[in-house]
Amino acid sequence: MKNKLNKFHQEIFSTIFLFKNGKAIEYLKENDSNQNPSKIQIEENIQKVTVGGQDEAILTIEGNVFAKGYDISFTSRKEFTNISSLIEDTNDRIIEDIISGYESIYLLTSNQNAYGISRNRYGQLGFDSKTLNKARKPILMMKNVSKIFSGNNSNHVFLLNSNQELFSCGDNFYGQLGLGKKITYIDKLTKIQNIPKGKIIDIQCGAALSIIFIHVELLNLMDLINMKILMNLLKSNHLYLKIMIFLDISVGNSHTLILTSNLKLIGFGDNGSGELGTGDKENQSIPIQIELPKLRFNENISNYHISCGTGNSFIYYSPLSFSNLEEDLIKLFRRKEFCDISFKTKNGEIIEAHKLILKYRLNQNQNEIEKLQEIISNKIN
């Protein structure tokens, strides 16, 4: 009997990993030169796969990390290297987590130490970019780290220690490090001050912004006053701290959308292409509530999905389970390449659509878009 194959599909750069019994048996990616797929054999159980703008990395259950990219391998950019074995401290080579930035890969070891590898153009590895432009082996960034946050479109990083102290470094052209300094980049890990009391549960990083989510069990008057002051201080820094219960969040290239538990849509950031859905093209430097048509949420909603791309956004919600058509649409929209559409369904049929605008982006097939337009049009009319 043939073993069942599980496919993990990372849409970025046409990267496909095939898994068999928890092992990566084949790696496919189109090469720029000859269009022939490259392959990888990893005889260890896979725990996590990340794809950044320049690199790819695989974390195994055994704690090893295999990576490839522009500045990973000494011999070839197309070959995977066990980068965890390159850590100088032989007692610190068991990796618990990997995070991909746009040009860098970050490793968190079982000893709670944070390492960085690959490019350091913006100081995102925490070292002077003029003396260390790239690192071909992991370099120690900070000790006593509990979590690392970055994004595959980001050249900046956040490190959280066990005392809930937050540090950041890297690209800061838009002030996305939240340090109150609007300079091009900061190449030294710097502590972020005046964060309200509470547990940091998540940080989402885009190319030109960041958002921190904190859990606060009890707020007193002084906490609220501090929060107001902090929000005013951070308006120009593109880093926002917001206390809310949210159902879904997506960070695009330079804008963010959040759907809260009371079905309110919150957005902020770049709006030059109307991606916030506010009806205008005015950028929003602080989070605002975006008005939704009254008919959209008049039923019990069970499924949510928000996807922010570059200059576009997609919001999906349904009171019922996904139909085959809806599944196909979601797969297309998750590419984050073309869409400005939201729709509502009933009994598996699309009954309402808003802002039906499909944009031709990147290398998408025009016939595919026209076919999709026709399908949606037939369902609505």
Tens-digit pLDDT profile for residues 252-309:
777 888 777 667 788 887 888 888 877 788 888 777 888 765 434 444 455 566 777 7
DSSP summary character for residue 131:
T
2-27 pLDDT, tens per residue?
A: 222 223 322 333 344 444 444 544 44
Task: Please compute the mean of the pLDDT values over residues 338-364 and round it to a whole number.
Answer: 39
pLDDT of residue 338: 36
Q: DSSP strand E in 265-302: where?
A: 265-269, 284-290
pLDDT of residue 199: 79
The whole model's pTM is what? Answer: 0.59
In a domain, residue 159? The reply is yes
Give me the domain span that covers residue 74.
Answer: 1-192
In a domain, residue 339? The reply is no
What are 99's two structure tokens?
């995070």
pLDDT of residue 52: 79
In a domain, residue 214? The reply is no
Check pLDDT > 80 for residue 187: yes
pLDDT of residue 146: 96
- How far is C-alpha 92 from the chain's CA centre? 27
**Is the separation of the CB atoms in 161 and 175 below 8 Å?**
no
In a domain, residue 360? The reply is no
pLDDT of residue 93: 95
> Does residue 202 sit in helix, strand or coil?
strand
64-99 pLDDT, tens per residue?
A: 998 887 666 544 566 778 899 999 999 999 999 999
The total domain count for the chain is 1
Single-letter amino acid code for the residue at 52: G
In a domain, residue 173? The reply is yes
CA distance 335 to 337: 5
In a domain, residue 48? The reply is yes
pLDDT-derived band of residue 176, with 50, 70 and 90 as boundaries?
A: confident
In a domain, residue 68? The reply is yes
pLDDT of residue 239: 44
192-231 pLDDT, tens per residue?
A: 886 766 778 788 887 877 777 776 554 444 444 444 444 4
For residue 103, give Cα distances in angstroms to 70, 241, 345: 9, 26, 40
pLDDT of residue 305: 67
pLDDT of residue 291: 73
Rounded to 5 degrees, φ, ψ at 333 are: -70, -25
Task: Please compute the mean of the pLDDT values over residues 350-355 and round it to a whole number.
Answer: 40
Share of the chain above pLDDT 90, in %: 19
- Please identify which residue in the block is written with the tokens 């100081």: 123
pLDDT of residue 367: 57
Strands 65-69, 5-10: pairing kind:
unpaired
- How far is C-alpha 254 from the chain's CA centre? 12
Of 44, 71, 37, 70, nearest to 58 by C-alpha is 44
Q: Say which CATH number the domain at 19 has.
A: 2.130.10.30
CA distance 365 to 30: 17
pLDDT of residue 94: 95
In a domain, residue 51? The reply is yes
What is the number of alpha carbons within 13 Å of residue 157 lying toward its C-beta? 34
What are 144's two structure tokens?
């006593």
Residue by residue, DSSP assigns 43-59 as -SBEEEEEE-SSEEEEE
pLDDT-derived band of residue 250, with 50, 70 and 90 as boundaries?
A: confident
CA distance 333 to 314: 7
